[in-house]
């Protein structure tokens, strides 16, 4: 990339100035708006700002009542709670993954529409699903007059309401074509649990062995229970600021080096051209067209693990290994450990840390770059981190530097 | 999946041919009259030539298992566990695929590449025929 081309990378005029996170737990039974307030006020203070400085607001997926606990908090809730005076805001589902809200915030400050954008994501799936278990997620659970529409038209009639089933089919295709094994896939879950033990906020911190993994019940083959992330309650907030505000901030902000937002394949789980990868293939390749850095420059990777196989797909998509090679890449687990060549999902990810839905991984990437990760801090002062979110047709990634 | 419990699709003018073809034993899709491209899910424009003259035609009903999963989790009341969810690809066109259930097969016997054929589960009161697939008999596999 030439200096002239680099000028055109608009996201580079954005920085991350602060992060915050509420209490996180399997089931907190707390008002999701209260959790959101906790995260947002922490992030604003972390940046060295006051709520009056915030003039932009961004979230994924916006306020919605179903599925239960997926999001109870939208833009208007937070704007009104903090009486924010906004120059720009956005919230919605149809964007390049959960991190699409943060990418949009980067573009807003880059374009001068806002100076400090508060980005947040709140989940309360743990509490909301406490009564009915995962079955409560299925729309129209009892059938009746409910009729499936949209993408669900092609899945619900076949009793395939869950991403667990869709991801399982991609994992099966990967296993079949490349010889990937459950023992290899297990490393994603085992690594997450090892790291979660060093994260006081993680939902599951007890040690897990390969034997535990191989003997737990199947959900949708080849995915077992430990291949699925854990629904939880919690809120995460990130403040994106215009780079020129750096002197106003509490500490040197993190630079946004590049975003990856592309999707070239068809935007659904069943029609995507290659059933062994996902839209992450396109977003990952796109990211590297916007920077001179290379995969070997990355010191820490926080890659979406709604299901363990999605992390494998991201490892390939971001070029840490070739297509089909993620199984051998993670084999044994040493390479992806905290002291390994590519420390991965250092807070326990969503598999053991809790399903904070993409934002938790970005939060962790920031904390690691600032050297504030405590017991789980990656050694050697990492300088470059990648955070990536989304599975199937959802994919977005951010490359950050300090 | 012997229980005929299903969450049914909302039938519209755009998708009616697909969900009702089973009444006549036919797996129907849109196909461009001009360039022959099969269009699924249904849309009003051919993605290959951008023509809008789309015909409803019957596919052979044969397919091959592109990938699958044996599901053990009860996501909803009704289906008997475990059951097989598959993505099948039709020989009519590369990438012409459906999510479906495989029936009349031991889940442990399912393989990627397995030859299957359509069989319809009728919900005549709701005017919906669900296309399921089973192993091709005789010369199959």
Whether residue B1 lies inside any domain: the answer is: no
Whether residue B10 lies inside any domain: the answer is: no
The complex's ipTM works out to: 0.95
CB contact under 8 A, A135 and B8: no
Which chain B residues are Cβ-neighbours of A274 within 8 angstroms?
none
Are B67 and B112 within 8 A, CB to CB?
yes
How far are the Cα atoms of B22, B37, B60 from residue B54, in angstroms, in the given order? Answer: 20, 9, 18
Whether residue B8 lies inside any domain: the answer is: no
CB contact under 8 A, B41 and A153: yes
CB contact under 8 A, B85 and A165: yes
**Range of the structural domain that residue B65 is part of:** 16-135
**pTM, entire model:** 0.96
Whether residue B141 lies inside any domain: the answer is: no
Q: Touching check for A219 and chain B: CB below 8 Å?
A: yes
Which chain A residues are Cβ-neighbours of B5 within 8 angstroms?
143
Q: Touching check for A216 and chain B: CB below 8 Å?
A: no
Whether residue B5 lies inside any domain: the answer is: no
Domain boundary assignment for chain A: 3-129+229-401
Which chain B residues are Cβ-neighbours of A154 within 8 angstroms?
41, 98-99
Which chain B residues are Cβ-neighbours of A141 within 8 angstroms?
76-77
Which chain B residues are Cβ-neighbours of A275 within 8 angstroms?
66-67, 87
Count of the separate structural domains present in chain B: 1
Nearest to B69 among A156, A168, A271 (CB): A168
pLDDT tens by residue, chain A, 402 residues: 777 777 689 999 999 999 999 999 999 999 999 999 999 999 999 999 999 999 999 999 999 988 999 998 999 999 999 999 999 999 999 999 999 999 999 999 999 999 999 999 999 999 999 876 555 556 654 457 899 999 999 999 999 999 999 999 999 999 999 999 999 999 999 999 999 999 999 999 999 999 999 999 999 999 999 999 999 999 999 999 999 999 999 999 999 999 999 999 999 999 999 999 999 999 999 999 999 999 999 999 999 999 999 999 999 999 999 999 999 999 999 999 999 999 999 999 999 999 999 999 999 999 999 999 999 999 999 999 999 999 999 999 999 999
Q: Which of these CATH numbers, 3.50.50.60, 3.10.20.30, 3.90.180.10, 3.40.47.10, describes A3-129+229-401? A: 3.40.47.10
- Write the DSSP string, B90-136: -TTSTT-EEEEEE-SS-GGG--TT-EEEEEEEEEGGGTEEEEEEEEP
Residue A278 Cα, gap to closest chain B Cα (Å): 14
User: What are the residues whose beta carbons fall under 8 Å from the beta carbon of A352, sequence distance 6 or more?
Assistant: A189, A192, A193, A195, A196, A202, A203, A204, A205, A208, A230
Q: Touching check for A150 and chain B: CB below 8 Å?
A: no
Whether residue B140 lies inside any domain: the answer is: no
* Total residue count of chain B as it appears in this document: 141
Euclidean distance between CA atoms A208 and A216, whole angstroms: 11
**What is the CA angle B50-B51-B56, rounded to 5?**
120
Q: Touching check for A200 and chain B: CB below 8 Å?
A: no
Whether residue B37 lies inside any domain: the answer is: yes
CB contact under 8 A, B99 and A170: no
DSSP-assigned letter for residue A60: S
How far are the Cα atoms of A163, A247, A248 from residue A251, in angstroms, in the given order? Answer: 40, 9, 9
CB contact under 8 A, A221 and B69: yes
Closest-approach residue (CA) in chain A for B71 = A220
Residue A220 Cα, gap to closest chain B Cα (Å): 4
Q: For residue A52, what are its two tokens?
A: 């009056």
Whether residue B69 lies inside any domain: the answer is: yes
């Amino acid at each position: 990339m030439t200096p002239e081309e680099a000028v055109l990378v608009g996201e580079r005029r954005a920085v991350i100035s602060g992060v915050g996170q509420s209490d996180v737990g399997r089931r907190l039974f707390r008002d999701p708006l209260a959790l959101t307030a906790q995260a947002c006020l922490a992030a604003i203070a972390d940046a060295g700002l006051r709520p009056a400085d915030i003039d932009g607001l961004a979230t994924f997926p916006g306020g919605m009542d179903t599925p239960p606990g997926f999001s109870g908090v939208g833009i208007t809730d937070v704007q009104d709670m903090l009486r924010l005076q906004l120059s720009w805001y956005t919230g919605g589902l149809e964007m390049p993954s959960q991190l699409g809200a943060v990418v949009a915030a980067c573009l807003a400050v880059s374009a001068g529409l806002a100076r400090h954008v508060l980005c947040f994501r709140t989940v309360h799936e743990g509490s909301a699903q406490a009564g009915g278990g995962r079955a409560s997620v299925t729309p129209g659970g009892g059938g009746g007059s409910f009729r499936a529409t949209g993408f669900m038209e092609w899945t619900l009639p076949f009793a395939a309401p869950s991403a667990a089933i869709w991801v399982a089919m991609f994992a099966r295709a990967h296993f079949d074509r490349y010889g990937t094994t459950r023992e290899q896939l297990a490393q994603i879950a085992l690594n997450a649990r090892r790291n979660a033990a060093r994260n006081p906020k993680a939902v599951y911190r007890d040690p897990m062995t390969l034997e535990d993994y191989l003997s737990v019940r199947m959900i949708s083959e080849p995915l077992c229970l430990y291949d699925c992330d854990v629904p939880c309650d919690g809120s995460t907030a990130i403040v994106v600021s215009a780079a020129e505000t750096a002197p106003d901030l509490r500490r040197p902000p993190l630079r946004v080096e590049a975003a990856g937002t592309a999707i070239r394949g068809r935007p659904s789980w069943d029609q995507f051209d290659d059933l062994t990868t996902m839209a992450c293939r396109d977003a990952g390749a796109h990211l590297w067209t916007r920077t001179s850095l290379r995969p070997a420059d990355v010191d820490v990777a926080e890659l979406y693990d709604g299901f363990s196989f999605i992390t494998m797909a991201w490892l390939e998509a971001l070029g840490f290994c070739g297509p089909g090679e993620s199984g051998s890449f993670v084999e044994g687990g040493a390479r992806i450990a905290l002291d390994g060549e590519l420390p991965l999902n250092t807070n326990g990810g969503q598999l053991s840390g809790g399903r904070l839905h993409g934002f938790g991984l970005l939060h962790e990437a920031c904390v690691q770059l600032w050297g504030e990760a405590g017991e789980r801090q990656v050694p050697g002062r990492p300088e470059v981190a990648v955070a990536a979110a989304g599975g199937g047709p959802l994919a977005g990634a951010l490359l950050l530097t300090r | 999946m012997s229980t005929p419990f299903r969450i049914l699709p909302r039938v519209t003018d755009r998708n009616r041919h697909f969900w009702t073809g089973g009444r006549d034993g036919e797996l129907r899709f849109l196909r461009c009259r001009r360039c022959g491209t099969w269009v699924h899910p249904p849309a009003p424009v051919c993605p290959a030539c951008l023509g809008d003259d789309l015909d409803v035609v019957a596919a052979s009903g044969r397919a091959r298992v592109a990938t699958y999963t044996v599901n053990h989790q009860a996501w909803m009341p009704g289906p008997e566990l475990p059951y097989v969810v598959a993505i099948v690809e039709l020989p009519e066109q590369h990438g012409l695929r459906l999510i479906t259930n495989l029936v009349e097969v031991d889940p442990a016997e399912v393989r990627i590449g397995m030859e299957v054929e359509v069989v319809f589960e009728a919900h005549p009161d709701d005017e919906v025929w669900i296309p399921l697939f089973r192993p091709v008999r005789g010369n199959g596999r």
